[in-house]
Amino acid sequence: MDIYFLLFEDFETLDVFGPVEILSRIEKVKLHYISLSGGMIKSKQGFYTQTESITGIAPNSIVVVPGGQGTRSLVSNELFIKTLRNLCDRAENVLSICTGSALLAKSGVLDKRNATSNKKAFDWVRSISQNVNWIKKARWVVDEKYYTSSGVSAGMDMSLGFISDLFGIEKAKQIAFDIEYFWNSNKECDVFE
Amino acid sequence: MDIYFLLFEDFETLDVFGPVEILSRIEKVKLHYISLSGGMIKSKQGFYTQTESITGIAPNSIVVVPGGQGTRSLVSNELFIKTLRNLCDRAENVLSICTGSALLAKSGVLDKRNATSNKKAFDWVRSISQNVNWIKKARWVVDEKYYTSSGVSAGMDMSLGFISDLFGIEKAKQIAFDIEYFWNSNKECDVFE
């Protein structure tokens, strides 16, 4: 299984690296760190991560889209949004964390779908597309191949939920145990609204 | 406040970037990503992060030491251990996550102190130094300026505990809320033993 983490300037750190920690524990998985033009990408928290440029994805791949301050300008970047649309169309599953769902919404892939996002930025995310059925009270939302989570740390719970859906809840519980993580396994339980 | 994250080959991703997400939210904080020789450092999860070489630290600094597979060989790297010892002696506080405490123990700074570590690697960590009072059942342990956490995700809870100790529990709760994180705020509550 190939998993592509889509990075951009001012992405939110834990949106990416929480899911990286968890999804890396799937057997025979290969992780890719990609960005629109490749090279070094700076997170909101000031460190640089090396990325490859997007040249396509392997069949049956997973694409992970983080949120963060960088999404505010990226929604207006036509090349980025078009590229994201192409990635989503080809992916087996797409997972977004926090305001990453605003990028997905802008690309149109969430039209007529249920989705959620970060609570603090919810009004802004909703303003990006009125074609999405935005669900505010949710740890994460699943609509066919699209998984969208609420803010930052919710991406870890969603990643375990995704693993549970694919490989069974025992596998998800084992990974949570191995990283000594208290998994909030109920995607409808959300106390942060 | 300056915080230095000490990276090395095969560090565990969430050990670093969970605390980064949380500690970055301290007001007027400056984060530094350092390694023994500087340059690009590869995590256990396969991505590269840019680091500066260790040239000293600012007064009143915090040093954060992650764990991971890389610690197994690093405990035998005399230059690394000596450098770590110097960093610790100068730091206002030292925080370790997971098997990062094995590196601290090897340097001698935990002698006669209480400390904890990752559960799955506990026997190995204990074998590194018999001069430490190792506490297996703990989410994290505080002994004067030294904070040591158990495995991987425990570093996030400890980071919030550290913020609580320095700036009050309301500040820690606010940060947890902002990143939609369920903080396990009791350092003695540990279900992973």
| Distance between CA atoms of residues A92 and A119, nearest Å | 27
CA distance B175 to A59: 39
Dist CA B146 CA B94 (whole Å): 5
Q: Which residues of B touch A20 (CB under 8 A)?
A: 13-14, 45, 47
B152 and A33: CB-CB below 8 Å? Answer: no
Smallest CA–CA distance, residue B37 to chain A, in Å, is 17
CA distance A120 to A154: 13
* pLDDT score, position A18: 97
Burial of A2 (0-12, 13-18, 19+ CB in 10 A): middle
Q: Is A120 on the interface with B (CB under 8 A)?
A: yes
* Nearest chain B alpha carbon to A45: B24
Above 90 in pLDDT, residue A35? yes
Tokens 């040591």 identify what position? B148
ipTM score here?
A: 0.95
β partners of residue B50: B40
Task: Determine the average pLDDT of the residues in B95-112.
Answer: 98
**pLDDT tens per residue, range A63-99:** 999 999 999 999 999 999 999 999 999 999 999 999 9
Q: What is the structure's pLDDT at B35?
A: 97
Q: Name residue A34's amino acid.
A: I
pLDDT digits (tens, 9 = 90+) for A53-62: 998 889 889 9
Which of the 8 DSSP states describes residue B54? P
The alpha carbon of residue A49 is apart from the nearest alpha carbon of chain B, in Å, by 5
Of chain B, the percentage scoring pLDDT greater than 90 comes to 92
Q: How far apart are CA B95 and CA B34, in angstroms?
A: 15
- B21 shares contact with chain A (CB less than 8 Å): yes
Please say whether the beta carbons of B8 and B80 come within 8 A: yes
User: What's the confidence (pLDDT) of residue B104?
Assistant: 98
Record the tokens describing residue B57, joined without a space. 């630290």
- Which of B174, B180, B185, B190 is the best mutation test for A, with the most CBs of A within 10 A? B180
Q: Residue A152 has what pLDDT? A: 87
pLDDT above 80 (res B193): no
- Whether chain A has a CB inside 8 Å of the CB on B161: the answer is no
Output helix, strand, coil percentages for chain B, rounded to the nearest 5: 35, 20, 45
Q: How far apart are CA B178 and CA B164, in angstroms?
A: 15
Q: What is the mean pLDDT of residues B114-135?
A: 96
Q: What is the average pLDDT score of chain B?
A: 96
* Cα–Cα dist B142/A175, whole Å: 27
What is the model's pLDDT at position B192?
86
| Confidence tier at A171 by pLDDT (50, 70, 90) | very high
**Whole-number pLDDT of residue B152:** 87
Q: Which residues of A touch B177 (CB under 8 A)?
A: 192
With CA atoms as reference, report the closest residue to B120 among A174, A22, A29, A161: A174
Q: B89: distance to nearest CA of chain A, Å?
A: 25
Under 8 Å CB-to-CB from B118, ≥6 apart: which residues?
A180, B67, B98, B99, B125, B150, B151, B152
Closest CA to A128 of A71, A85, A44: A71
* Residue from the list B14, B21, B120 with its beta carbon closest to the beta carbon of A21: B14
Q: Are B180 and A154 in contact (CB under 8 A)?
A: yes
pLDDT tens-digit map of A122-151:
999 999 999 999 999 999 999 999 999 998
Residue listed under structure tokens 């066919």: A144
Which residue in this structure is represented by tokens 């999804």? A23
pLDDT at A193 over 80: no
Report pLDDT for A55: 87
In angstroms, the separation between the Cα of residue B180 and the nearest Cα of chain A is: 6
Pair of tokens at residue B88: 């610790």
Which residues of chain B lie closer than 8 angstroms to A16, CB-CB? Answer: 17
Query: Which residue out of A5, A7, A14 would a mutagenesis test of the B interface target, given it has the greatest number of B Cβ atoms within 10 Å?
Result: A14
- Show the tokens assigned to B54: 């260790």
pLDDT at A17: 98
